[in-house]
Chain A
Amino acid sequence: MRIWHSKGGKVCRVWVSAALAAGRLWREEFIMRLVRRVAGRRALLAGLAVVFPVGMAMLAGVMPVQAQPAQQPTAGAGQVVTVYSYRQPFLIRPVLEAFTRRTGIKVRTAFARKGLLERLRAEGENTPADVVITADFARLWALKKAGLLRPVESEVLRKAVPAHLRDEEGQWFGLTKRARIIVAHKDRVKDGEIARYADLAAPHMKGRVCIRSGKHPYNVALFASMIAHDGRDATRDFLKGLKANLARKPQGNDRAQARAIHEGVCDVALLNSYYLGKMATNEKKPEQKEWYGSLKVIFPEAQGRGTHVNISGGAVVKHAKNPQAGQKLLEFMVSEEAQRMYAALNHEYPVRPGVQPSELVRSWGELREDRLPLTEIARRSREAARLVDEVGLDH
């Protein structure tokens, strides 16, 4: 009792009386009325009163579970490989499941579109991540620049992924390809009217072009590749011409551009190839098939340097706890089996030479791709994003 009356005890007494007071208030205000009208509107308040302690207890219960995976054994069948993914889980789940079936290694993913790089950096050597998967190469390049990746020495990966689609030091690898193509209305645009990206800025396209925001990563990457090929000034002139040719302010997503052509807002647009494939095969949304039906596909620069391609890619994290399993996952993702799955499910181009794209994708014609190393493009993406600002493309 001496403690109770000491100075520290006074603090305790205040807390105890506060708790009692809170309890009394709770009783008076809520519980008593709950008793009075059992099925009344207080039910929810009482429900919350129950949920709160239960919830707290569950939070406490979840925490140790979360701490556990860091101590995973690094060998044996019970292995787990942890993936931070910028790509939607449902896009890669079939491939990851196939990987687990083949190797017995389980995969768990954390998906976010923003902030995974910062997360890796903040977690440092304590990170649970083994592998990062991204939807474009600019992010991979940024991860490498931040020193968050580790070089992977793998004959399998080097053979399966062409040199221009991977990092020269083996820090990241392309897993699938998509071409930044031009789609045009099949009647309103005559053959030969448009064959190069630069034609989008030509005078005869005035008022006929639709694009999504110039700040979208896919567009920024394309503009960066133009800087790499033609230089900054030529690219600025191109962007100015493009802005002058727009039928409407840059807006909407990739599919929205196809819809706009179908509805007659404009005649040509930039699109990622796999969206076209998804629209063409959309059984549940026949209107998208109609959009697709009024389009023709143009592979820009087919006569010249080749069509700009982007990749989805992967890398092993520098502080990976299980780098071998991470490497195995990447190797599996470029295997014939996985590459075929990607091609069939998602209408992406396989990176692995010798694996064919889907029949639909083949029907568009041969893709002759720009072979400039993606690294060369990535290092210019900041400049490209700034050019878009200077020209005021989105405004």
Chain B
Amino acid sequence: MAAASAPAGRGGGLRLLRIGALVAAGLVVLPLLAVVVMAASFSDALPHLWRTVMPQLALNTLLLMAGVGISVIMLGCGAAWLVVRYRFPGHGIMQWALALPLAVPGYLVAFIYTDLLEYAGPVQKALRELFGWQGPRDYYFPEIRSLPGAVMVLSLTLYPYVYLLARVAFMAQSASLLEAARLLGRKPWPAFFAVALPVAWPAVAAGTALALMEVLNDFGVVDFFAVPTFTAGIFDVWLNMNDAAGAAQLALVLLVFTLLLILLERMARRRRRFDTAGPRAAGRGWRLRGWKAALALAACLLPVVLGFVLPVAVLLMHAARFWQESLQQGLMEQLFNTLLLASVVSLTAALLALVLAFAARLDGSATVRGAVRLAGIGYAMPGAMLAVGLLMALAWADGLINDAARAWLGMAPGLLLSGTMFALAHGHVSRFLALALGSIESGLARISPSMEAAARTLGARPAEVLRRVHLPMLRGSVLTALLIVFVDSVKELPMTLLLRPFGFSTLATQTYQFASDEMFEEAALGALFIVMAGIIPLILLVRAMNAPSSQSETARF
């Protein structure tokens, strides 16, 4: 669409943007390419799985995605709509509290719920003592280690993606749009389904896509719930059957599947435009009273309590009991490492995402758009696999350097790229760019091309349009991108384990030591630190997004 607005004579900035985007995408896609190389040798893993458990794995994966997809849309959109459009007691706190479950690592939430609710856990034990039941045949209790259990826990930890993106979208919606719907006789909720939700759809779809990619790459949670998914199959082929090529092939199947889903969703809304960010964004919201206010508050509280308050309370309990065992030297250093890494990663990812998203919008050529799509799907791949891919690419580059050095200087410098902070940051950015891209692209989709056209007509060059029109209107989306990437980088484990320099540990790697040896209680204190490291930016950024920004949301012309 916007490609036409780039006259040939003034393409310098644009060409630069395009080159920048291709380089950025190339760096991010590097680990994926290495996985392709890995997959390019013989393996009979696929036929074996096809004959045996593949139908079950695929079915589990699809059901999990469907369940989590529907729940995160309901939870995320519902909560965002309540918080943006209505005013009720506790509204101010709920705005940021609803994002809190994002800060708790999923595998810990999974552990806490399976531990609480399984037959041998305290809840059922207390029920048995209370009612005098003797054995499992005396009563019915839903099996927590099941597909529905996994859907519940994954939804509780992943709905904040949808909530955060939908919230920004709802906030940017012109109030007059809804007022028109109300004037035409729609009640608030029908107005939501007829107007607000369709208009916010790009953001909701982006948030849901992120949640589902996380479902695809997850191993820790589904392992707890004894639900073998496609990713469990990948690890099985890789580690138990000792067949890295087969595992890489499976991972690529997963990527192609993800890409198809994303393209399908895009095609479904290709003909529609959602550029509704207007000068009278947000508005003040409708005041709720009485039982309606209570209901709204309860609806917001439910996911916060289940996804954050309860798990953190359990962690606090364990930490209070085991703080001596888990208090290790260097906690402060790990905290510092974690925050430093997350800051660098989130800022880099947001910057690259901006470049890629702008390039896709302004340049719009098939090459650039393809590169941007590829750059955004790495998140669907299991982190350990992606880490191995990056390792291979960097080690190959190191090999070239060393060979050259041996030939010319007669000495080898050793590994310069692998096992450095650069490798680690590169890995994190590759993995989490999708998160930033999803947020920023959906924000960009809200901005009408007519704004660009107007700006260009008034004589602004492309760079100026970006600076004076797009960036101010994207503020909420950029902050959201920073936030999501930051929190996820704090929690990240498999890549950090494999790519970090010697002696460099983060809160997540330290916590994992205990967690991977069946000592979750001892891991609680570290987990609380992870949660804290995630919460502080979370609260600050969500509040920053609330700051009166209607002036900056209006293009200054």
Give A residues with C-beta under 8 Å from B.
Answer: 10-11, 14-15, 17-18, 21, 24-25, 29, 41-45, 48, 51-52, 55-56, 58-59, 62-63, 65-67, 69-71, 82, 88-91, 108-116, 118-119, 122-124, 126-128, 138, 142, 145, 213, 215, 217, 220, 248-256, 259-260, 262-265, 275, 284-285, 381-382, 385-386, 389-390, 392, 394-395
Name B398's closest neighbour in chain A (CB-CB): A126
Q: How distant is the Cα of A253 from the Cα of B232 in the complex, in angstroms?
A: 16
Asked if A48 contacts B502 (CB within 8 A), the reply is no
14 residue pairs A–B, Cβ–Cβ below 8 Å: A14-B13, A48-B482, A58-B340, A63-B416, A65-B501, A66-B421, A70-B413, A115-B387, A118-B244, A126-B395, A215-B236, A284-B521, A385-B241, A394-B226
Asked if A259 contacts B544 (CB within 8 A), the reply is no
A174 CB to closest chain B CB (Å) equals 19
Interface residues of B in 109-139 (CB under 8 A from A): 114, 118-120, 125, 135-136
Q: How distant is the Cα of A62 from the Cα of B413 in the complex, in angstroms?
A: 16
Interface residues of B in 170-196 (CB under 8 A from A): none
Question: Which of B344, B395, B475 is close to A124, meaning CB atoms less than 8 Å apart?
Answer: B395
Give B residues with C-beta under 8 Å from A.
Answer: 12-13, 16, 48-49, 52-53, 56, 114, 118-120, 125, 135-136, 145, 223, 225-226, 228, 232, 235-236, 238-244, 321-322, 325, 339-340, 343-344, 346-347, 384, 387-388, 391-392, 394-396, 398-399, 402, 412-416, 418-422, 425, 463-464, 467, 471-472, 475, 482, 494, 497-498, 500-503, 509, 513-514, 516-518, 521, 536-537, 540-541, 543-544, 547, 552
Asked if A126 contacts B241 (CB within 8 A), the reply is no
Given known pairs A124-B399, A395-B56, the reply for A63 and B537 (CB within 8 Å) is no
Asked if B391 contacts A122 (CB within 8 A), the reply is yes
CB-CB under 8 A from A260, the residues of chain B are 119-120
Question: Which of A43, A52, A66, A249 is close to B344, meaning CB atoms less than 8 Å apart?
Answer: A52
Question: Which of B119, B498, B502 is close to A69, meaning CB atoms less than 8 Å apart?
Answer: B502
Name B411's closest neighbour in chain A (CB-CB): A71
CB-CB under 8 A from A48, the residues of chain B are 343, 346-347, 482
CB-CB under 8 A from B502, the residues of chain A are 66, 69, 82, 108-110, 128
Given known pairs A126-B412, A260-B120, the reply for A382 and B243 (CB within 8 Å) is yes
Q: How distant is the Cα of A379 from the Cα of B211 in the complex, in angstroms?
A: 39
Q: How distant is the Cα of A250 from the Cα of B552 in the complex, in angstroms?
A: 56
Q: How distant is the Cα of A122 from the Cα of B38 in the complex, in angstroms?
A: 11
Asked if B415 contacts A126 (CB within 8 A), the reply is yes
B222 CB to closest chain A CB (Å) equals 11
Q: How distant is the Cα of A120 from the Cα of B274 in the complex, in angstroms?
A: 50
Q: How distant is the Cα of A55 from the Cα of B494 in the complex, in angstroms?
A: 22
Asked if B241 contacts A386 (CB within 8 A), the reply is yes
Given known pairs A381-B240, A381-B242, the reply for A119 and B340 (CB within 8 Å) is no
Residue of A59, A67, A115, A262 with most partner-chain B CB within 10 A:
A115
Question: Which of B52, B114, B392, B415 is close to A386, meaning CB atoms less than 8 Å apart?
Answer: B52
Asked if A55 contacts B343 (CB within 8 A), the reply is yes
Asked if B544 contacts A66 (CB within 8 A), the reply is no
Asked if A250 contacts B226 (CB within 8 A), the reply is yes
Asked if A259 contacts B120 (CB within 8 A), the reply is yes
Q: How distant is the Cα of A59 from the Cα of B422 in the complex, in angstroms?
A: 7
Q: How distant is the Cα of A18 from the Cα of B463 in the complex, in angstroms?
A: 8
B128 CB to closest chain A CB (Å) equals 9
Given known pairs A88-B517, A108-B503, the reply for A138 and B242 (CB within 8 Å) is yes
CB-CB under 8 A from A41, the residues of chain B are 540, 543-544, 547
B488 CB to closest chain A CB (Å) equals 16
Asked if B498 contacts A112 (CB within 8 A), the reply is yes
Name B500's closest neighbour in chain A (CB-CB): A110
Asked if B414 contacts A217 (CB within 8 A), the reply is no
B360 CB to closest chain A CB (Å) equals 18
Name A216's closest neighbour in chain B (CB-CB): B240
A60 CB to closest chain B CB (Å) equals 9
Asked if B325 contacts A284 (CB within 8 A), the reply is yes
CB-CB under 8 A from A63, the residues of chain B are 416, 420-422
Name B544's closest neighbour in chain A (CB-CB): A41
Asked if B321 contacts A284 (CB within 8 A), the reply is yes
A94 CB to closest chain B CB (Å) equals 14
Q: How distant is the Cα of A145 from the Cα of B242 in the complex, in angstroms?
A: 10
Asked if A118 contacts B391 (CB within 8 A), the reply is yes
Question: Which of A66, A138, A259, A284 is close to B501, meaning CB atoms less than 8 Å apart?
Answer: A66
